[in-house]
Structure 1
Amino acid sequence: MEAVIRQLKEEEFGVLGDFLYEAIFIPEGVEPPPRDIMEKPELRLYIEDFGSSPHDIAFGAVCGGRIVGAVWCRIMADYGHVDDQTPSLAISLYSEFRGQGIGNQLMRAILNELRSRGCKQVSLAVQKANYAVKLYRSLGFETVSENTEEFIMIKKLTEDI
């Protein structure tokens, strides 16, 4: 099924909570956390009052009239924070829509939008075992730091991708 990639409207920002939960990396054989994990401050900062800053940008993938994936960014002190001028990205898709190139389309849309707004770079944090690391590297993200579980990656926004 073909996805339409477009900026999310303010009234659609509520879906970001669902996609934030979907973005939690669950290794093979591990039980997903309860939904109330979303109440943790370190997760709420990804979505709380989203749209209140000019740096809050979100794109959605729409299939059959339903939003099936989202990528969004804001400047925040999250896991991928590198400085107060660099937005941090989050992306996820419902599981049945993964592996079809939709994530790549979403990433390209938001990276080009950020570049067009004069943003110099964007960051993200990703679990080392997450298959999405391959996507991020293919889009030009480079690891700038890491800990035992995660890579912190940056993409310089010098040209359209």
Structure 2
Amino acid sequence: MKPEEYPLLSDFLYEAIFIPVGMQKPNRTIIHQPELALYIEDFGQADDICLIAEIQGKAIGAIWSRIMNDYGHVGEDTPSLAIALFEEYRNQGIGTVLMKAMLQKLKEAGYRQVSLSVQKANYAMHMYEKAGFRTMRENPEECVMVREL
């Protein structure tokens, strides 16, 4: 992702919010709450990495990582991961391609592992498991998962 594209992260952060079937989407202002805003605030720091999926020049998905004290935080040397696709591009394998590319990029950057947080009801949990993520800790609603690199 190029610096001039960083504003797109607002759209992808909103898309990354898991909405269970039958629930109404929250107001877009939710991404300004501190616990969500930290995923994109001042993006472009030394440890920040983002890859974009494009179709015909249009960004349709993103995966990004940064070291932050988020829901999936496991340590100061472990980046946390976020991934999102616009709804019409989900369930087509694009997320899997993005995930594989990001895992390789993080490995090349010298990280030993990466973490994420996912709600147990989120269908993406299966993709994370297939990509080699394992549950490190959990509560009744969500899991923190780690993938060794």
How high is the TM-score relative to the length of structure 2?
A: 0.99
Aligned-pair CA distance for 1:10: 1.1
1:90 paired with 2:90, answer no
- 1:135 corresponding residue in structure 2: 127
Structure 1 residue 148, shift from structure 2 partner = 1.4
Query: What is aligned with 1:3?
Result: none
Whole-Å separation in 2 of the counterparts to 1:115 and 1:38: 29
**Cα deviation per residue 1:93-120 (whole Å; 9 max; x = unaligned)?**
0000001100001001110000011100
Q: Which residue of 2 aligns with 1:17?
A: 10
Distance 1:117 1:94 in 2: 28
Deviations 1:110-138, CA, capped at 9 Å, x for gaps: 10000011100000000000000000000
Structure 1 gaps of 5+ residues are 1-7
Q: Distance in 1 between matches of 2:55 and 2:111?
A: 29
Q: Does 1:126 align with 2:118?
A: yes
Instruction: Give the whole-Å Cα distance in 2 for the aligned partners of 1:36 and 1:94.
Output: 18
1:113 aligns with 2:138: no
Q: Partner amino acid for 1:12?
A: E
Residues 4-153 of structure 1: pairs in structure 2 closer than 5 A: 8-52=1-45, 54-153=46-145
Q: Which runs of 4+ in 1 moved over 2 A?
A: none
RMSD of aligned Cα (Å): 0.5
Gaps of 5+ in 2: none
Aligned AA (1:152): V
How many angstroms apart in 1 are the aligned matches of 2:88 and 2:31? 22
Distance 1:13 1:87 in 2: 18
- Distance across 2 between alignment mates of 1:147 and 1:12: 35
TM-score, normalization: structure 1? 0.91
1:62-102: CA deviation from partner (whole Å, max 9, x where unpaired): 00110000000000000000011000000000000001100
Deviation at 1:60, TM superposition (A): 0.3
- The 3-state SS of whatever aligns with 2:18 is coil
Deviation (angstroms), 1:22: 0.3
